[in-house]
Structure 1
């Protein structure tokens, strides 16, 4: 009887060891990347960010109680969801080529140095880049409207898969009371 218990205990220990070993492993295979030659694409478009009116493209979804004053369009700590249109030109009736969807947060206490931190997926819905997008995640020093400012491209999809690069932004027009803005985006996209 004693030898049967020892054999049973040994069998159970062996089963537990094999099961634990197979459960802790996962399938993974590494192989050399077969990357094509890297390309660079430059594209210009306009982003329309509208906070006012009956059909805004950016809405405040949260704000800090201390800084979310009613008289401030974009108080420090305010978080906005966006669904902005991308167009060929700066005019409202310019041909729409896509949308910018994501979020931005007001990240500066001093409005004279107004800065947002933004994440957006800039998707093209027509033309040569239809079905592709570039993703940006970066600090955007909006108060530097006299010159261009730069944000980082951190990814993409479709024709811009594995994208990296930068976007130079220039404010085409802004209403400081409402926060409505039209921005020129000059993107330099490195991709495969």
Structure 2
């Protein structure tokens, strides 16, 4: 074979290999985001966290064997709690709060949970959307509202941030069943 042809073939193969290597990287060029103006949406709804009965919406899935804490320090719960328009048990359901929470305090006077919840809307204007909460929830602060952080969302609340003010509407201290009012301020695009 002619030396020129061999050199040309080698150069072409090396060029193709270099181009293929560039195209298989795990990232692409960073582009300026074309975000619309930020919106703020305020939502008010109720979350029903029911630990008792034949069909609870939250159950303990793990607990520490080393503590005798009155607040269940170290207990981990999973939840699939209904979200409703009003505080009544038969109020119109608009979604569900699914996630987990863990008792993160030893002292009853400082009772705190750390929670992750995806608050999904299954009916109405925000059907198919959700807000994600991942935050410390100082439950013992009964006198006022507690604040937890919104760290994301889906659907109409994609890239959400904000906060939720939580107030206990009612609680049964024997069963742990609670109805909580959620006032959410959601910033999104």
- What TM-score does the superposition give when structure 2 sets the normalisation length? 0.86
Distance of 1:138 and 1:178 partners within structure 2? 24
Displacement, 1:175?
1.1
Q: Which runs of 4+ in 1 moved over 6 A?
A: none
Displacement, 1:146?
1.6
Distance of 2:71 and 2:176 partners within structure 1? 7
Gaps of 5+ in 2: 1-13
Cα displacement string for residues 16-70 of structure 1 (whole angstroms, at most 9, x for unaligned residues): x969x6698334121111010000000000000001111100000000001267x
Instruction: Tell me the residue number matched to 1:95.
Output: 92
Shift of the 149–27 alpha-carbon distance from structure 1 to 2, 3 Å rule, reads: closer
Q: Is 1:42 paired with 2:42?
A: yes
Cα displacement string for residues 121-153 of structure 1 (whole angstroms, at most 9, x for unaligned residues): 000000011110000000000011121000000
Instruction: Tell me the residue number matched to 2:144.
Output: 147
Distance of 1:183 and 1:157 partners within structure 2? 23
Displacement, 1:112?
1.7
Cα displacement string for residues 76-117 of structure 1 (whole angstroms, at most 9, x for unaligned residues): 000000000000000000000000000000000001211000
Aligned residues: 177
Superposition map of 1:1-192 within 5 A: 25-67=25-67, 74-192=71-189
CA RMSD of aligned residues (A): 2.4
8 Å Cα contact 2:130-2:155 kept in structure 1:
yes
| Secondary structure, counterpart of 1:129 in structure 2 | coil
Gaps of 5+ in 1: 1-13
Instruction: Tell me the residue number matched to 1:7.
Output: none
| Secondary structure, counterpart of 2:54 in structure 1 | coil
